[in-house]
Amino acid sequence: LCELGEDHENHKVDADHAAMLWDEGGRYGGAVWVRWNTERAELVPLPWCSALDPCNEEACGLFAGHPSGHSWEVIDPTDEAITRVLAEQYPHLFPERREEGGG
Ligand SMILES: [Zn+2]
Ligand SMILES: [Zn+2]
Protein backbone atom coordinates (compact mmCIF):
# COMPACT_ATOMS: atom_id res chain seq x y z
CA LEU A 1 0.00 0.00 0.00
CA CYS A 2 1.27 3.40 -0.93
CA GLU A 3 2.40 5.55 1.98
CA LEU A 4 2.45 8.86 0.19
CA GLY A 5 -1.14 9.88 0.71
CA GLU A 6 -4.27 9.56 -1.31
CA ASP A 7 -3.82 12.14 -4.02
CA HIS A 8 -0.07 12.65 -4.44
CA GLU A 9 -0.13 11.36 -8.01
CA ASN A 10 -2.68 13.93 -9.06
CA HIS A 11 -0.54 16.99 -8.62
CA LYS A 12 3.09 15.92 -8.67
CA VAL A 13 5.48 15.15 -11.50
CA ASP A 14 7.02 12.29 -9.54
CA ALA A 15 3.90 10.22 -9.32
CA ASP A 16 5.42 6.88 -8.40
CA HIS A 17 3.83 5.23 -5.43
CA ALA A 18 6.05 4.12 -2.57
CA ALA A 19 5.91 1.78 0.37
CA MET A 20 8.64 0.84 2.81
CA LEU A 21 9.62 -2.82 2.79
CA TRP A 22 12.22 -3.01 5.50
CA ASP A 23 14.49 -0.82 7.55
CA GLU A 24 18.13 -1.33 6.68
CA GLY A 25 19.20 -0.61 10.22
CA GLY A 26 21.90 1.86 9.32
CA ARG A 27 23.61 0.05 6.48
CA TYR A 28 22.37 2.65 4.07
CA GLY A 29 21.18 4.99 6.73
CA GLY A 30 17.72 4.40 5.42
CA ALA A 31 15.32 1.74 4.31
CA VAL A 32 14.44 -0.29 1.24
CA TRP A 33 11.34 0.91 -0.54
CA VAL A 34 9.31 -0.38 -3.42
CA ARG A 35 8.35 2.30 -5.89
CA TRP A 36 5.85 1.57 -8.56
CA ASN A 37 3.63 3.07 -11.19
CA THR A 38 1.35 1.71 -13.86
CA GLU A 39 4.27 0.34 -15.89
CA ARG A 40 6.89 -0.98 -13.52
CA ALA A 41 7.99 -1.55 -9.97
CA GLU A 42 11.47 -1.42 -8.46
CA LEU A 43 13.20 -1.85 -5.13
CA VAL A 44 15.37 1.05 -4.10
CA PRO A 45 17.36 1.77 -0.94
CA LEU A 46 16.66 5.33 0.11
CA PRO A 47 17.88 7.50 2.97
CA TRP A 48 15.39 8.81 5.46
CA CYS A 49 13.83 12.21 5.08
CA SER A 50 15.68 14.52 7.44
CA ALA A 51 12.67 16.64 8.38
CA LEU A 52 11.34 16.68 11.92
CA ASP A 53 7.76 17.15 12.98
CA PRO A 54 7.65 20.70 14.36
CA CYS A 55 5.13 19.60 16.98
CA ASN A 56 7.01 16.76 18.63
CA GLU A 57 10.35 16.56 16.77
CA GLU A 58 9.69 13.04 15.58
CA ALA A 59 11.52 12.17 12.39
CA CYS A 60 9.60 11.89 9.16
CA GLY A 61 8.87 8.26 8.33
CA LEU A 62 9.33 8.70 4.58
CA PHE A 63 12.37 8.70 2.32
CA ALA A 64 14.41 11.78 1.45
CA GLY A 65 12.89 13.66 -1.45
CA HIS A 66 9.47 12.08 -1.15
CA PRO A 67 6.94 13.88 -3.36
CA SER A 68 4.07 14.44 -0.94
CA GLY A 69 3.77 15.86 2.56
CA HIS A 70 5.84 14.52 5.41
CA SER A 71 4.58 11.47 7.25
CA TRP A 72 2.75 13.54 9.85
CA GLU A 73 0.94 15.40 7.04
CA VAL A 74 -0.23 12.26 5.28
CA ILE A 75 -3.54 11.02 6.58
CA ASP A 76 -4.40 7.47 5.71
CA PRO A 77 -7.81 7.98 4.15
CA THR A 78 -9.11 4.57 5.17
CA ASP A 79 -7.98 4.76 8.77
CA GLU A 80 -9.24 8.29 9.06
CA ALA A 81 -12.64 7.41 7.61
CA ILE A 82 -13.06 4.45 9.94
CA THR A 83 -11.94 6.42 12.96
CA ARG A 84 -14.28 9.26 12.11
CA VAL A 85 -17.28 6.96 11.86
CA LEU A 86 -16.40 5.24 15.13
CA ALA A 87 -15.82 8.54 16.86
CA GLU A 88 -19.25 9.75 15.80
CA GLN A 89 -20.96 6.63 17.06
CA TYR A 90 -18.87 6.09 20.18
CA PRO A 91 -17.51 9.50 21.18
CA HIS A 92 -16.65 8.26 24.67
CA LEU A 93 -14.03 5.98 23.10
CA PHE A 94 -12.25 8.87 21.41
CA PRO A 95 -11.97 11.66 23.95
CA GLU A 96 -8.76 12.92 22.33
CA ARG A 97 -10.56 13.68 19.09
CA ARG A 98 -12.35 16.56 20.77
CA GLU A 99 -9.02 18.35 20.50
CA GLU A 100 -6.96 17.45 17.49
CA GLY A 101 -6.82 13.68 17.24
CA GLY A 102 -3.40 12.90 18.65
CA GLY A 103 -1.23 10.21 17.29
ZN1 LIG B 1 0.61 6.58 -4.12
ZN1 LIG C 1 9.54 13.98 5.05
> Which pLDDT score, from 0 to 100, does residue 89 have?
81
Burial class of residue 31, CB neighbours in 10 A (0-12, 13-18, 19+): buried
**Structural domain spans, the chain:** 8-98
> How many angstroms is it from 62 CA to the middle of ligand 2?
5
Digit-coded pLDDT (tens) for 4-49: 887 787 655 567 899 988 887 655 578 999 998 888 899 998 999 9
Read off the pLDDT of each residue in 51-80 and give the average, rounded to a whole number.
Answer: 84
Query: What is the maximum span of the chain, computed from C-alpha positions, in angstroms?
Result: 46
> How many angstroms is it from 91 CA to the middle of ligand 2?
32
Distance between the two ends of the chain, CA-based, in angstroms? 20
Please provide the average confidence, as pLDDT, over all residues in the chain. Answer: 80
| Higher pLDDT pick, 92 / 78 | 92
> How many angstroms is it from 16 CA to the middle of ligand 1?
6
> How many angstroms is it from 92 CA to the middle of ligand 1?
34
Question: Residue 87's Cα: distance from chain center in Å?
Answer: 22
